[in-house]
Amino acid sequence: VQVPEGFTAVMSATSWEKQKDNTFVFKMSQPIPSYLIALAVGDIVSADVGPRSRVWAEPCLIEAARKEYDGVIEEFLAVGERLFGPYVWGRYDILFMPPSFPFGGMENPCLTFVTPCLLAGDRSLVDVIIHEISHSWFGNLVTNATWGEFWLNEGFTMYAQRRISTEIYGSAYTCLEAATGRALLRQHMDNTGEDHPLNKLRVVIEPGLWGVPVLPQPAGGSGGRRGAVLCSLPSLGRFGGAGDILGEGTGCLGSHARCRVHKTHPSSPFLTAGFEFDRWLNTPGWPPYLPDLSPGEQLMKPADELAELWAADGLNMEVIEAVDITAWRTYQLVYFLDQVLQKSPLPEGNVERLSKMYPKISKAQNAELRLRWCQIVLKNNLEAEYSKVKDFLHSQ
């Protein structure tokens, strides 16, 4: 690839070199499907953040990216290897895209593309990368044979993400994060209707269903449903786990092929009433079973109780002020805001007082907090803070 002088090209490849005339030569030694081939060209530089990882970004962002991810990625990779086997791709680099990039991340092998929203400044969103790293085994090493079986790709990746997160952060934090995802899934299904044809595991891809002639892959809205069901399997019956999926090497998965969650085994979850295999795959709606998130209660209960206090007609400020949220991690704050949003609109004046009391939330630069605060502002018609919504929309 020859690019203009002063520009750099990067690609989802295992090796690359720069030659004369600003020509970049790339080699991908692993077989990959076409959707994982990615190339970026621009005024970008890099910084090492681990023995096999570097971050790429525009010069104005590179130092922030280095500080945010220095030493972090190698820990995620090492835990993934311990759980799921060798990381076969050599390097794991991250490219921070412009703010217009419309996804959290895209798991291009060797070079994940991510949103700059992940540069929160306090490492509070670095664990989002665990999902993209998990795709190194589920989605990149093996992938769905057709887009109708996309649940295999995202579902097992969510399962792997939860396993890695539990190893590093503990079950309480992982369950809290999962509860946040469940709230998004509930919001998605409320917006689309549970019976929408996309709200099932196996999706029929055909013209007209999506409102456009062709879409290369299902949107991420129901990905949480896939993850929710797969994370239930170990507790419901015989599920050999990653070894059953990866043992046969690189290739494609079909829902009846290498995924050895047996329909007929005596302890199979698919013999549980209401969880029959065909219904599990082909019926839209809320998952028939959900993972047990009770280990997260120690983090969720204080947030639930505080949200209840702020939703009351008469605010009990003495009790509210006794709750110290300064030590709450980002996903605990996110969970709290999700509960406030569900209860909105709040009684008149409550959101204004909440905004003044928690500048950590109402003036946050963290994209996850900003998003939810903007939704609360709109749901409660808080015109004094509409400018924050405008600023957020202009920046992302």
132 annotated active-site: yes
378 vs 374: CA distance, rounded Å? 6
Residue with tokens 């963290």: 366
The answer to whether 218 and 147 are in contact (CB under 8 A) is: yes
Is 265 known as a binding-site position?
no
Selecting among 58, 68, 81, 132, the annotated active-site residue is 132
Q: Which amino acid is at 189?
A: M
At which residue do the structure tokens 């006794």 appear? 322
Does 154 show up as a binding residue in the annotation? Answer: yes
Q: Give the C-alpha separation, 256 to 291, whole Å.
A: 23
Which amino acid, residue 308?
E
CA distance 293 to 123: 24
φ, ψ at 247 (rounded to 5°): -60, -25
DSSP 189-250: HHHH-TT-TTSSSS----TTTSSSS--SS--GGGHHHHHHHHHHHHHHS----HHHHHTT-S
Closest CA to 152 of 190, 202, 199, 113: 202
CA–CA–CA angle 321, 323, 324 (5° rounding): 100
Known binding residue 262? Answer is no
Q: Detail the residues annotated as belonging to a binding site for Zn(2+).
A: 131, 135, 154
Q: Indicate which residues carry an active-site annotation.
A: 132
